């Protein structure tokens, strides 16, 4: 394209609004379409409705200069756009398969207004074969618009960083010229990277080699994203399986994984034992991949085993606490502080959060729970048991507690002095559900340390 394209983003979630902020700051007029008026009102005010480092300044600047245009209307946005990016939700069905109703509804509605030269880009994570179904929707509507799969690889909490200093940008389809036009959008963002990063308050990594632009088949692009996420969950579950063994043989899982990850063929990343993975991507993508395998006659047994182990980890954390407090039934009437409700530090997202699962399980076992998260209290409230008391800060969460479980590694939890934990707690037990504390510092403060695969108690 000789001039910068006009873009429409369908959906203003983590991926949609982050992408919109980047295209706008690269000089492209960007419509953001969402039926949720409260989300649109937030964007109009120059703010994201969720927490993501560096995003608000970009949204504010885009709205101020008319480069981000919030709307609920396809008719207002799609006919004006050269590239339409679908980033609508793909929740999972009760059987674990992906619910694609929003994907197909967005495509059906957009098909009414697409100009003939417009490119429809699927950025939502979808099972392999979805693109073929969307293309059939277009054929049924009597249009022949190009369709491209463009999976996202953004981590919540570091989404802008990941987009600006990317590993790879992947586009899948059957026409090279169309794929190059979509890649051109990302090349424009890369050219504006320094200015965008400065406005967002982000710093470039110390060492960075430019990421790759990759053109692949449509089906390959659809499969790459879920395969990547499934492999990362395998590494987490593998580390947790070895942590279970470490707890029984007297090994330290951090030492084991450091030594294992030092092998360049393996690498240390994601070999982290703890309370298990969560969030809006990993659990859903793993379930979707398993379902896609079964639909196509393939039983992905290793991935199913990884998923099953992950689901046991919040319960394992609680079992370790029970062992110290006196065994079965020892939680009844106890007050337990849970620090961390977001599924990971750096985000307000509490979907499939291990911290929430731990808090709810404690309630079911008769404990009183005082929980706190610096960003996710509000979002977590939707799935927390109503008996959980949401505290305003660390001190109120710890006040009168018999034990504390640190379930998310927010810096303010990890750097909170062990002596202050000891002073605030009524009891003496600190459960490090992510293996982030210095064991010696905790024990020197007079606390009973419990880690996952760090068998100091034995």
Q: What is the pLDDT of residues 434-456, one digit of tens each?
A: 999 999 999 999 999 999 999 76
Band of pLDDT at residue 2, cut at 50, 70 and 90: low
**Residue 87 to residue 41: CA distance in whole angstroms:** 19
Distance of CA 114 to the CA centre of its chain: 31
pLDDT reported for residue 336:
98
Active site residues per annotation: 281
316-320: average pLDDT:
96
**Residue 55 to residue 450: CA distance in whole angstroms:** 36
174-183: average pLDDT:
96
Residue 1 has pLDDT above 70, yes or no: no
Q: What is the mean pLDDT of the chain?
A: 94
pLDDT digits (tens, 9 = 90+) for 350-391: 999 999 999 999 999 999 999 999 999 999 999 999 999 999
**404 within 8 A of 398, measured Cβ to Cβ:** yes
183-189: average pLDDT:
96
DSSP secondary structure, 160-192, as one string: HHHHHS-SEEEEE-S-HHHHHHHHHHHHHHHHT
**Residue 6 to residue 235: CA distance in whole angstroms:** 40
Distance of CA 150 to the CA centre of its chain: 18
Residues 154, 155, 158, CA angle at the centre, nearest 5°?
Answer: 100
Q: In order of start, what are the domains of the chain with their CATH numbers?
A: 7-216 (3.40.50.720), 234-450 (3.40.50.720)
pLDDT reported for residue 456:
62
Residue 422 has pLDDT above 90, yes or no: yes
pLDDT reported for residue 458:
39
DSSP state of 456: T
Band of pLDDT at residue 83, cut at 50, 70 and 90: very high
160-186: average pLDDT:
96
Least confident of 98-102, 112-116, 121-125, 364-368: 98-102
pLDDT reported for residue 284:
87
Residue 327 has pLDDT above 80, yes or no: no
**Residue 32 to residue 30: CA distance in whole angstroms:** 6
pLDDT reported for residue 3:
84
Residue 74 has pLDDT above 70, yes or no: yes
What are 335's strand-pairing partners?
368
pLDDT digits (tens, 9 = 90+) for 245-301: 999 999 999 999 999 999 999 999 999 999 999 988 889 889 889 988 998 999 999
**362 within 8 A of 387, measured Cβ to Cβ:** no
């Amino acid at each position: 394209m000789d001039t910068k394209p006009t873009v429409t983003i369908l959906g203003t979630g983590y991926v949609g609004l982050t992408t919109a902020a980047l295209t706008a700051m690269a000089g492209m007029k960007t419509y953001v379409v969402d039926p949720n008026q409260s989300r649109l009102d937030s964007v109009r005010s120059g703010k994201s409705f969720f927490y993501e480092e560096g995003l608000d300044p970009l949204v504010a600047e885009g709205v101020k200069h008319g480069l981000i245009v919030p709307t609920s209307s396809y008719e207002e946005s799609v006919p004006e756009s050269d590239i339409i990016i679908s980033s609508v939700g793909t929740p999972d069905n009760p059987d674990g398969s992906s619910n694609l109703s929003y994907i197909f509804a967005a495509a059906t509605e957009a098909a009414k207004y697409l100009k003939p030269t417009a490119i429809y880009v699927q950025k939502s994570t979808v099972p392999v074969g979805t693109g073929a179904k969307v293309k059939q929707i277009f054929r049924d509507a009597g249009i022949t618009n190009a369709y491209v799969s463009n999976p996202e690889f953004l981590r919540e909490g570091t989404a802008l960083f990941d987009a600006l200093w990317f590993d790879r940008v992947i586009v899948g389809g059957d026409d090279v010229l169309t794929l190059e036009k979509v890649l051109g959008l990302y090349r424009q963002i890369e050219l504006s990277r320094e200015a965008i990063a400065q406005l967002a308050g982000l710093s470039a990594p110390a060492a960075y080699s430019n990421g790759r632009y990759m053109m692949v088949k449509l089906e390959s692009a659809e499969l790459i994203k879920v395969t990547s996420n499934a492999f990362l969950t395998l590494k987490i579950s593998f580390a947790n399986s070895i942590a279970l063994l470490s707890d029984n043989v007297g090994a330290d899982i951090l030492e084991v994984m450091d030594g294992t990850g030092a092998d360049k063929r393996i690498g240390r990343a994601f070999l982290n034992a703890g309370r298990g993975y969560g969030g809006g991507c990993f659990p859903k993508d793993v379930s979707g991949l398993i379902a896609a395998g079964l639909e196509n006659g393939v039983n992905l047994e290793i991935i199913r085993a990884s998923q099953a182990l992950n689901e046991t980890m919040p319960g394992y954390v609680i079992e370790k606490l029970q062992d110290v407090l006196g065994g079965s039934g020892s939680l009844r009437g106890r007050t337990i502080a849970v620090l961390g409700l977001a599924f990971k530090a750096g985000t307000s997202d509490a979907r499939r959060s291990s911290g929430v699962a731990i808090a709810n399980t404690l309630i079911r076992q008769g404990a009183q729970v005082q929980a706190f998260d610096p960003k996710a209290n509000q979002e977590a409230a939707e799935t927390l048991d109503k008996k959980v008391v949401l505290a305003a800060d660390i001190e109120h969460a710890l006040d009168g507690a018999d034990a504390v479980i640190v379930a998310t590694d927010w810096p303010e939890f990890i750097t909170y002095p062990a002596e202050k934990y000891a002073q605030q707690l009524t009891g003496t037990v600190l459960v490090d559900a992510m293996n982030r504390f210095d064991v010696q510092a905790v024990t020197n403060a007079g606390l009973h340390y419990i880690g996952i695969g760090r068998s100091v108690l034995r």
